[in-house]
Chains A and B, each alone.
Chain A
Amino acid sequence: MWGDWHQVWEIVSQPDNVPIVALLFLVPFYVWYACRQAFATDRLIAQLETDPQLAKTHHRKVFPWKAGWDREVHVWPYLMRIEFLAAIIVTIILMVWSITLNAPLEEPANPNLTMNPAKAPWYFLGLQEMLVYFDPWIAGVVMPTLIIIGLMVIPYVDANPLGNGYYTYRQRRFAIWTFLFGFLFLWVIMIVIGTFIRGPGWMWFWPTQTWDHNRLEFAVNRNLDQIVGIDGSWLAHLLPQTLKASSPIIARAIFGIFPLVLYVILAAYLIHLICNLTAFSRKIYKRMTLLQIVTVQVLLVLMLSLPVKILLRLLFRIKYIWVTPWFSI
């Protein structure tokens, strides 16, 4: 049933979902806020680049400056009054929020009564949403680990010395697009989908579409080897007698390596191209050490695998690329 606005309201107004609704406003606001400052700086940079004489004398900030002004101000009171003000405002917001909205409390925990849908806390919904496309060991363990490692290596692989301490877009295009892609698409949007779109059985319900607890989705997803028709009959001729029975399994395990290797090569090449898109990015690329390049490649190839797998699932209904007896990807 469509047009179920009541349910939309029920989801949106659930107290625990308020942070996500807030996120829907806050994130675009701060993206805009940062862009505005970045573009202002970029205009200044463009101006200074075309006018070397000005570059020598300009104070190089977008903020007003007059000769004779102090470059530094006292923390007390100029910074601390802002801090105290911020604390007061946050306290007021928190008070109003706490008076108007109650923290949820459901029935006592009952292992025999499954919640449907059983959702993780909202900040982990991105990972839970990943479970649709990957097995739990990837979505729940490998990906989070990679996110943490990936974030931590950023400072050590970014060879671009520009844009340290000011907002800019022109000077850091690649870094900014990569981060925005990861943060907005692969994290925030996944959370929003997990909150507002996923219903019972973790099935896809568009907003205003009523959650149907009896809906069944038939498993139409197939593995790549099934689509290609790998059944091991061909391999069976090559194997010794003792292994003949398991030839389908072995055939699949061997077959799956090929598309994966193909993906890694294609993705790595794509990333290489993007890294060398402009004269500036080629310059930065030259500054990178081999270790830095390899690290960036490995992490970005792994990061890209998520949207690629999502596309494969949505377009071709592919479940696994590589099936082995121990794990599947």
Chain B
Amino acid sequence: MPKENGGNKRTGLLEKVQEDAKALKEFFREKGKEELEGLKEPEKTQLFRSIFRVKHDETPRNRALSVLTNLFFHLHPAKINRDAVRYSYTWGMGGITFYLFVVLTFTGVLLMFYYHPTKIQAFRDILYLENDVPFGKLLRNMHRWAAHLMIIAVWLHMFRVFLTGSYKRPREFNWCVGVILMVLTLLLSFTGYLLPDDQLGFWAVTVGTNMARATPLLGHEGPFGAQLGMTPYNDVRFALLGGSIVDANALLRAYIWHCIAIPLIAAIFMGVHFWRVRKDGGISGPSPVMLESEIKEEKGPRPVILRPSGMR
């Protein structure tokens, strides 16, 4: 008996373990199945909801909420003029410009890991980047070509804004913000041109900054510059270059303008620009055409500067 019992005991334990294992297996299978099934609808998961905060389904309410409750999306309104989503109206150029700015920031930060703004290192860093850093060449190319593309996109954006008359009331000020953004874009590109410290950048920047010599009043070769005591060692060009020639100081200044100051200023202006697009009533059109006969006659003098803007 004890033998038997002992045997029973042993088989009992074994059976129990086997049974438990079976039950556990069943339990896990059930759970796993359930959860796998659940993963087919990831938008119902706790993780998803914790991130996006609203249910994802195709009700108008939730479509609106998914835009409004997301920091990045809420730059947009929830709804938009049905014709304004057509490519033919905006050419998407403002958005593309912004996207290129983001690409440039991303690739630019990566480039900064490899670049020293000194006369000894700068050119070698570029060589190193081109020949030894994994994907370094691709990185540099992308940064360069995205910069060129951004300039083209800004010009085309301005062109379309002009042709659709979108600078007219109430968007006058946002047009001005845009002009500043365009200048900043050009300056960003220009300051970056010097950084490889090669002949191309050196002479381009030399040609460019030589014009600053001729600034009226403030340049030593400009009208009335000499009379005001301007010399090559104290005029605006000297301030831009940190010296009288394009050298180590100019490289450092270009670097700081290019990597810190101008991107920061441009980002702030972009924030204002986007905010104003919304506050000025969203994208300007395509709006219903207005006929000549519908122009309201102006009564009395028109104070161009003092008229409160934002109303039609």
Contact = CB atoms under 8 A, between A and B. Distances in A.
Interface in B281-303: 284-293, 295-296, 298, 301-303
A131 B85 CA distance: 43
A105 B145 CA distance: 14
Given A166-B165, A292-B304, A79 B76 contact: yes
A102 B143 CA distance: 11
A41 B289 contact: yes
Contact of B293 (A49, A103, A118, A154): A49
B190 A139 contact: no
Interface residues of A, number: 107
Interface stretch (B28-36, B91-99, B261-269): B91-99
B196 interface: yes
Contacts of B291: 45, 48-49, 55
Interface stretch (A157-165, A213-221, A260-268, A304-312): A157-165
Q: Main SS of chain A's interface residues?
A: helix
B172 A155 contact: yes
Nearest to B74: A75
Contacts of B249: none
Interface residues of B, number: 112
Q: Main SS of chain B's interface residues?
A: helix
B15 interface: no
Interface of A: 16, 18-19, 22-23, 26-27, 30, 33-34, 37-38, 41, 44-45, 48-49, 55, 59-63, 69-80, 82-83, 86-87, 90-91, 93-95, 97-99, 101-111, 113-115, 118-124, 127-128, 131, 135-137, 139-142, 148, 151-152, 154-156, 158, 161-168, 171-172, 175-176, 179, 183, 280, 283, 287, 289, 291-292, 326-327
Given A44-B289, A109-B202, 13 more contacts: A18-B148, A37-B88, A55-B291, A63-B286, A79-B76, A94-B103, A103-B143, A152-B176, A162-B292, A164-B166, A165-B287, A179-B163, A326-B224
Name the 7 nearest CB pairs between A and B, nearest first: A140-B211, A165-B285, A165-B287, A60-B288, A155-B172, A109-B202, A136-B214
Interface of B: 60, 63-64, 66-67, 73, 76-88, 91-92, 95-96, 99-100, 103, 123, 126-127, 130, 137-138, 140-146, 148-149, 151-152, 155-156, 158-160, 162-169, 171-173, 175-176, 179, 183, 186, 189-190, 193, 196-204, 206-208, 210-216, 219, 221-224, 227, 245-246, 284-293, 295-296, 298, 301-305
